[in-house]
Structure 1
Amino acid sequence: MKQIYKQLILLIAVFLLASTFSGKSTLANSEPIVKVKLVNYLGNKTSIPLKITGEYLLDGTSLTSGNQYYVKNENGKIAIYHGSKLLKSSDMPLTITPKEYGQSHYANINGRNYLGTMRFTKEGSYVRPVNELSMEDYLKGVVPAEMPASWSLEALKSQAIAARTYIKARISQVIDDTVKYQAYSGYTWNSSYYAKTNQAVNDTAGQVLTHNGRLISAVYSSSNGGHTESNSNYWGSAKLPYLPSKPDPYDPKIEWNITLNKEQISLSGLDLSQPQLWWGQVREKAQGNELLNINYIKSYIRNNYHPNTEIKVTGIPKVGVGSGYTLADSGTTTGKRTTGTLHVEYIMKDSSGNYVRDLPGNLPDNYSTTLGGPSRYHTSVDISEKGWPGTATAVVLGRGDIHVDAITGTVLAKKLNSPLLLTKSDEVPSVVLERIKELQPSTVYLLGGESAIDSSSENQLKTMGYNVERINGASRYHTALKIADQIGAFSEVFITSGDQNSPDALSIASYAASKQIPIILTAQDKLLQSTLDTLKKHQVNKVTIIGGESAVSTGIVNQLKSLGIGDVSRIEGPSRYHTSIEIAKRLSFDTSTLYFAQGQTFIDALPGAVLASKSNAPVILTEKDSLSYDAEKWIKSLGIRPSVVYLGSEAAISETARQEIKNALIGDIKVHVMKKDNVGIGVLRAMMGGTLFKSYHIDNVAETSTQFAINGKGFGHGVGMSQYGAKKMAELGKSYQEILGHYYPGSVITK
């Protein structure tokens, strides 16, 4: 009898051993069923391939080995195809069930095997499979996914019990296969490589951890950095006695680091107003793990601030951690930080593919108006038609080849609310005469003496029936004073060079006309006595000199001060283009409209200064084929997108210059800055990815001139069991009961 009994015992042992190594699957009627969404290995797909080993049933339809099936989310329905043949389509989930639960019947989803039932659901536009299987078979897919199958058996048993406790507490939920819950690899365990993990699950079958008769929260992580963390420290939940914060002598303190270059993309030398020229060629300096960090950061920015955008990170100017740590149960610090700082600079395209610029919106096609014709005389006519579409009581006529008389006359033209037209010295061009007829003025004012506009032109106008008044003096300087007298009372003047090659006065003309401030001309080194007399007569108390000392010397400043004029200032720049911008910066213009004039043949734009004065708009000088850097910078600094008027045709301001002006108006691509200052350390981990920013246990952030290096220990939250700590304890001969007792003190292993 004893011999028979021994043989029976031996037979049972052999059976159990074979079951352990084969990973045999069983489904007892009382065994809990786990429902797990397949996300980790599948991703998001609208169509997934399906193969069957053995046989599955779809509402009575048999799905068998050797056939290719597809599950699709199409037209808002779940559809299952055999090749191209539709088997079933439904608004509701579709379920396939094995003919018999076990290892002879399993489904292959996107190249990975799964036991049990498969329910296909809709998740937005995607297909989301939900695998339903026995808890013990689920654990055989979890343990080797969470802990290497080659590790010591006692460590694997600890993992199996912790994982079983974790899932049993959530058995009524639909979980997923990611580390958000527990990593689940499916039916991969049907080989000898998984013998120990299968044995660990089988040997501990049904065993769970409890505290005071209830399942514990059996959380775990890879490595705690040498110190376990309490649940209350990490998640802020009520403290659980079996999840203490204490030193862990068994954890190997796995080190990690993240290196981030401060400069990811150099914007120096790039035309920021035309990102389309370089967007596709530039990319972040980051490579390897750093590139993963940058991609995590970009995903965080998209998910939280700018959905559906394309982002390039240009720089990481600041990284740091706070001085605060969480506290252990003993009151000492844990080494785990509580706060951190991260600044990120980035550029982007919006969801429509448009570059996001400093100024919102797009520049309309009709952003500009050109007032220009085949000659300066035609241009003056075009300008008058724009500003005076009806009639005018007066017309001011200035010489078209020398600007000095006409420039001072802009103030008079504004006073008279009349256009400024240009003429030749010896005759009035026919296009100008026709325009005068259209305007029907009662008086035509001639600027300058007969050396500027001779008597033949004057007589030409008189014979047409116009009252003609000539405003002139012995020289251009005296003519400017005569024009000033026409203005009436004034206490402020602009003084600028009377050199016929100087364009300084053009940029001031629109402002002077708008504010009715006379423009006085002078020689380089000395004011005329008649100028001094005019200043005295009008009790001028404020003078602004336009141009540098080479145009208007300091001797003139001294003359002005000797008259008792205390408010004498100068607006100048190293070139006419700089001076033009300095005037625009210093004086109070309405910049909703900008007038552009060519800085070499600037006389074309004289009539435009009167038009600009009607809206107190500035006149900006540009070179024929390019916009100065100062002008570009100033335009971009306005913070608005003004409308533009070009004074002169493309012969005066070329298409190249106009494109540069347009680019400045469009604005530079915007460099955004996301600043996370002293935020919870979890925010930084979420931004940089938990697989790289591995824990809150951070030793330091090292900084060089070009990089930041974050140096830490551990991997994961550090609450509960350290998997690497369990490995070390098992290697030291500790049992799984001792391992679990160390990491979940006060808990009890029960069935």
Structure 2
Amino acid sequence: MKKLIVALIVSILLLTICPLTFGQAETTEPIIKVKLLNYLGNQSEITIQTSTNTITSDSKVTLQGNQMYHLKVEQGKISLYENTTKINTYDSFSLYATAENQTLINSRLYSGNFDFNVENNQFIRPINHVLMEQYLKGVVPNEMIASWNLEALKAQAVSARTYAMGYLGAIIDDTVRYQVYGGYGTNQNTNKAVDDTSGQTLTYEGKLINAVYSSSNGGKTESNANVWSGESLPYLPIKNDPYDPKNPWSLSIKKKQIDLTNKDLKNINPWWSTTQEVDQTISTNLKNYLYSNGYKGKEIKIIGIPMITFTNKLESNRYSLGNLKVNFLVKDDVNSNGELNIKTLEKTNIKASDLRIIIGTSLLRSQYITKQETTNDTISITGSGFGHGVGMSQYGAKSMGEQGKTYKDILSFYYPSTTLTTQYTQLPLLKTDRIAGTDRYATAVSISQKGWKIANTVVLVRSDKFPDALAGAPLAAQENAPILLTPSHRLNDQTKQEIIRLQAKKVIILGATPAVSDNVKNELTGMGIEVERIGGANRSETAAEIAKKLNSSNQAIIAYDNNFPDALSIAPYAVKHGIPILLTGTDKLPTATVKALQGKDKTIVVGSSKVVSDQVFGKLPNPTRYSGAVRYDTNREIVTKLPLGRDKAYIATGENFPDALAGSVLAAQENAPIILVRDQQVPEATKTLLDEYKTFSILGSSQIIGDDIEQRLNQIMLKQSINSN
């Protein structure tokens, strides 16, 4: 446990190397971007495994859930492998998993989405796009001991959230340079602290504060201006802290690290490799500094540390300046006599914070120094605290929580004059809306309830056969009426209750009595509702009669009368533009349709020549055909070539008609197309089409359109959200 605490404290003390850019309130939970460095390191090959099927930036590649994949850097690019089989090579690669799913990267668990890029032409570098609350669940247990009391952890969660909000839109990393992020949070205690404070941050005069914190302030807080310069912030003052346990420390360093007596500086081979410095930790830290400042790749011995002093004591009892002198040898660096040169590193009046880093922050734990002593042999320094001392003391927060103080008390003490503010309460729109009921009748009712609080008119169609219903969407839109379903012989109970809820005064029945019986009509009449029936001797005549009810349009849509998908694909477009849908056989244009086409100067034909022949096509006024090999190809052609809005799409099964028909008017109200899918699978023609939309609504239950499709849509929505940020 002691080692764990030390490791966590080390990560804490380096937190926040510079002040934040303050931000304004968010309305929805934001996504933060984190470059994974700390635990991953520099790797030219990594493994990834997702908990469910997950779409990628390659529209042809979906990662299968619980299957191990490999990403390798090959010739400066990323290659994706499944086992030993190369799938493809990319300049960059992304995967899009919804928040409830997890991804293993080299056996560490994460949530959210990832961009994988090549760094320095040799390493794979993931960037994790993760929801703020999930990010915090990976931060809090890495920045505060997870077993500490809940109030302290809640204060930590608010501070960490406030800090992170200052970096929205930027790419941070998972190291002490920002906040240590360990991936998917599994600790129940820290997760509760995050959940209990969801969306809460600290503000001052309406703006997010710079919510810095450190492990221990030694009994007195520090001003931000003394650490990072700039203007002193009123909520980060210097004041005594009776809650911080002070955490005293001491450091003793031998001035002479290597005794050169009897060491031959011309012939170093007998002693160089076997001679070590007295104080290994500080010597290693000093060597690392030298390696980074002109001596990279050299072999160095620290022979002496004759001076470490701190000067310019501040009001906070911390020192702002320091001096350092180090004597060292560099192998093969010799003078004209062939002896090793004794070299000197000397730093005068440098920032005390810089001197801490050179010496080692785990040794020189703070700038709160209570005593400095130098003898002929030794430099001794004692002090209190651990870290920069600005803002919240984590050990002080722990003590306050143990004394019965709440997290609000803790935050108020360490960040005086600030206000606890809820930055966001609404989750981002990253989940597909499903409009559904237990059966087709209930789904139509759900669609009606989604789109209409009240409706003067309702369009009623037969639930089990499509022909009379196909042409009904433009009429329903003109009447601002939902489309509801009923069996032929009686009025469905759910439909009846929806008509009552809508306070409808009129019902338009589509189809003659064989389609919807007079029993249904009589029941409606008995409810005091006006009933109008629009029907002909056959489906083509019914469509023509419906067309007569529409406001004038110089266009008409021609669809195949013996199947439904093509007519449903065009329905939202027809509704949006008030264009009647007329029906035809494959090789013969019905008389009723010919009459209805009189006065039209343009025709839109939906479906291939297999369903609407070239012979029929040639008889139409100024026709344009939109078609594909199968219904899903035709759907794509219509949606692409006759576009509505790109913000949203409605998803319906292409295997049956009721849900798409009932949803067509609602879709058109939102300027959205209907995209057809198979019940449990997205057709190939549709996969890339879906990538063009930001949000989706599914028409029908999971028995009609499966959960796997919903999952894919959720991933696409998240992908679009990420790409738009």
TM-score (normalizing by structure 2): 0.52
The 1-side partners of 2:275 and 2:326 are apart by 17
Secondary structure at 2:33 match in 1: strand
Structure 2 residue 312 is the aligned partner of structure 1 residue 313 = no
The 2-side partners of 1:29 and 1:699 are apart by 47
Post-superposition Cα deviations, 1:206-263, rounded to whole Å, max 9, x if no partner, equal: 1111111111111111111111111111110211111111111111101222332222
Q: Residue 259 of structure 2 corresponds to which residue in structure 1?
A: 266
Q: Residue 335 of structure 2 corresponds to which residue in structure 1?
A: 358
Structure 2 residue 322 is the aligned partner of structure 1 residue 340 = yes
Matches within 5 A, 1:460-539: none
Q: Give the deviation of 1:300 after TM superposition.
A: 1.0
Post-superposition Cα deviations, 1:549-583, rounded to whole Å, max 9, x if no partner, equal: xxxxxxxxxxxxxxxxxxxxxxxxxxxxxxxxxxx
Secondary structure at 1:240 match in 2: coil
Q: Residue 63 of structure 2 corresponds to which residue in structure 1?
A: 63
Q: Residue 197 of structure 1 corresponds to which residue in structure 2?
A: 190
Secondary structure at 1:186 match in 2: coil
Q: Residue 391 of structure 2 corresponds to which residue in structure 1?
A: 720
Amino acid at match of 1:358: N
**Fraction of identical pairs, as percent:** 43
Does the CA contact (< 8 Å) of 2:99 and 2:131 recur in 1?
A: no
The 1-side partners of 2:231 and 2:329 are apart by 42
Which of 294, 298, 301 lines up with 2:283 in the alignment?
Answer: 294
Does the CA contact (< 8 Å) of 2:227 and 2:353 recur in 1?
A: no
Post-superposition Cα deviations, 1:54-92, rounded to whole Å, max 9, x if no partner, equal: 33333242334554433333322233333433333223x
Q: Residue 104 of structure 2 corresponds to which residue in structure 1?
A: 108
Which is bigger in relative contact order (C-alpha 8 A, separation at least 6)? 1
The 1-side partners of 2:271 and 2:153 are apart by 53
Does the CA contact (< 8 Å) of 1:319 and 1:701 recur in 2?
A: no
The 2-side partners of 1:301 and 1:282 are apart by 19
Secondary structure at 1:677 match in 2: strand
Matches within 5 A, 1:698-737: 698-737=369-408
Q: Residue 686 of structure 1 corresponds to which residue in structure 2?
A: 357
Structure 2 residue 423 is the aligned partner of structure 1 residue 743 = no
Q: Residue 303 of structure 1 corresponds to which residue in structure 2?
A: 292
Q: Residue 174 of structure 1 corresponds to which residue in structure 2?
A: 171
Q: Residue 362 of structure 1 corresponds to which residue in structure 2?
A: none
The 1-side partners of 2:86 and 2:276 are apart by 45
TM-score (normalizing by structure 1): 0.50
Amino acid at match of 1:123: E
Q: Give the deviation of 1:730 after TM superposition.
A: 1.0
Post-superposition Cα deviations, 1:186-219, rounded to whole Å, max 9, x if no partner, equal: 11x33xxx22211111111111111111111111
The 2-side partners of 1:266 and 1:82 are apart by 58
Does the CA contact (< 8 Å) of 2:52 and 2:66 recur in 1?
A: no
Post-superposition Cα deviations, 1:263-309, rounded to whole Å, max 9, x if no partner, equal: 222322232113344332222233xxxx3322221111111232332
Q: Residue 411 of structure 1 corresponds to which residue in structure 2?
A: none
Number of residue pairs aligned between Structure 1 and Structure 2? 394
Runs of at least 5 residues in structure 2 that lack an aligned partner in the other structure: 1-25, 423-725
Secondary structure at 2:175 match in 1: coil
Amino acid at match of 1:120: F
Which of 35, 38, 43 lines up with 1:37 in the alignment?
Answer: 35
The 2-side partners of 1:724 and 1:718 are apart by 11
The 2-side partners of 1:149 and 1:243 are apart by 26
Secondary structure at 2:179 match in 1: coil
Q: CA, structure 1 residues 276+79, in 2 after alignment: closer, same or farther (shift >3 Å)? A: farther
Secondary structure at 2:182 match in 1: coil
The 1-side partners of 2:48 and 2:378 are apart by 48
Structure 2 residue 268 is the aligned partner of structure 1 residue 275 = yes
The 2-side partners of 1:283 and 1:748 are apart by 54
Which of 117, 120, 125 lines up with 1:121 in the alignment?
Answer: 117
The 1-side partners of 2:373 and 2:87 are apart by 61
Does the CA contact (< 8 Å) of 2:320 and 2:367 recur in 1?
A: yes
The 1-side partners of 2:401 and 2:112 are apart by 33
Does the CA contact (< 8 Å) of 2:226 and 2:320 recur in 1?
A: no
Q: CA, structure 1 residues 317+276, in 2 after alignment: closer, same or farther (shift >3 Å)? A: same
Q: Residue 132 of structure 1 corresponds to which residue in structure 2?
A: 129
Q: CA, structure 1 residues 669+64, in 2 after alignment: closer, same or farther (shift >3 Å)? A: farther
The 2-side partners of 1:358 and 1:303 are apart by 24
Amino acid at match of 1:39: L
Matches within 5 A, 1:375-414: none
Q: Residue 367 of structure 2 corresponds to which residue in structure 1?
A: 696
Q: CA, structure 1 residues 69+282, in 2 after alignment: closer, same or farther (shift >3 Å)? A: farther
Q: CA, structure 1 residues 149+266, in 2 after alignment: closer, same or farther (shift >3 Å)? A: same
Which of 195, 202, 208 lines up with 1:209 in the alignment?
Answer: 202
Does the CA contact (< 8 Å) of 2:139 and 2:180 recur in 1?
A: yes
Q: CA, structure 1 residues 161+316, in 2 after alignment: closer, same or farther (shift >3 Å)? A: same
Which of 671, 674, 678 lines up with 2:345 in the alignment?
Answer: 674
Q: Give the deviation of 1:29 after TM superposition.
A: 10
Q: Which has the larger radius of gyration?
A: 1
Does the CA contact (< 8 Å) of 1:321 and 1:700 recur in 2?
A: no
Q: CA, structure 1 residues 300+739, in 2 after alignment: closer, same or farther (shift >3 Å)? A: same
The 2-side partners of 1:293 and 1:75 are apart by 40
Q: Residue 95 of structure 2 corresponds to which residue in structure 1?
A: 96
Structure 2 residue 159 is the aligned partner of structure 1 residue 162 = yes
The 2-side partners of 1:723 and 1:36 are apart by 24
Which of 313, 323, 329 lines up with 1:325 in the alignment?
Answer: 313
Which of 228, 231, 251 lines up with 1:238 in the alignment?
Answer: 231
Q: Residue 627 of structure 1 corresponds to which residue in structure 2?
A: none
Q: CA, structure 1 residues 314+51, in 2 after alignment: closer, same or farther (shift >3 Å)? A: farther
Q: CA, structure 1 residues 87+736, in 2 after alignment: closer, same or farther (shift >3 Å)? A: same
The 1-side partners of 2:137 and 2:84 are apart by 35
Does the CA contact (< 8 Å) of 2:304 and 2:328 recur in 1?
A: yes
Does the CA contact (< 8 Å) of 2:50 and 2:65 recur in 1?
A: yes
Does the CA contact (< 8 Å) of 1:209 and 1:749 recur in 2?
A: yes
Post-superposition Cα deviations, 1:373-417, rounded to whole Å, max 9, x if no partner, equal: xxxxxxxxxxxxxxxxxxxxxxxxxxxxxxxxxxxxxxxxxxxxx
Q: CA, structure 1 residues 689+65, in 2 after alignment: closer, same or farther (shift >3 Å)? A: farther
The 2-side partners of 1:702 and 1:171 are apart by 46
Q: Give the deviation of 1:343 after TM superposition.
A: 1.3
Q: CA, structure 1 residues 245+36, in 2 after alignment: closer, same or farther (shift >3 Å)? A: same
Q: CA, structure 1 residues 31+703, in 2 after alignment: closer, same or farther (shift >3 Å)? A: same
Which of 52, 60, 69 lines up with 1:54 in the alignment?
Answer: 52
Q: Give the deviation of 1:704 after TM superposition.
A: 4.1
The 1-side partners of 2:68 and 2:258 are apart by 47
Runs of at least 5 residues in structure 1 that lack an aligned partner in the other structure: 1-27, 328-333, 350-354, 360-635, 637-666
Secondary structure at 2:292 match in 1: helix
Does the CA contact (< 8 Å) of 2:50 and 2:103 recur in 1?
A: yes
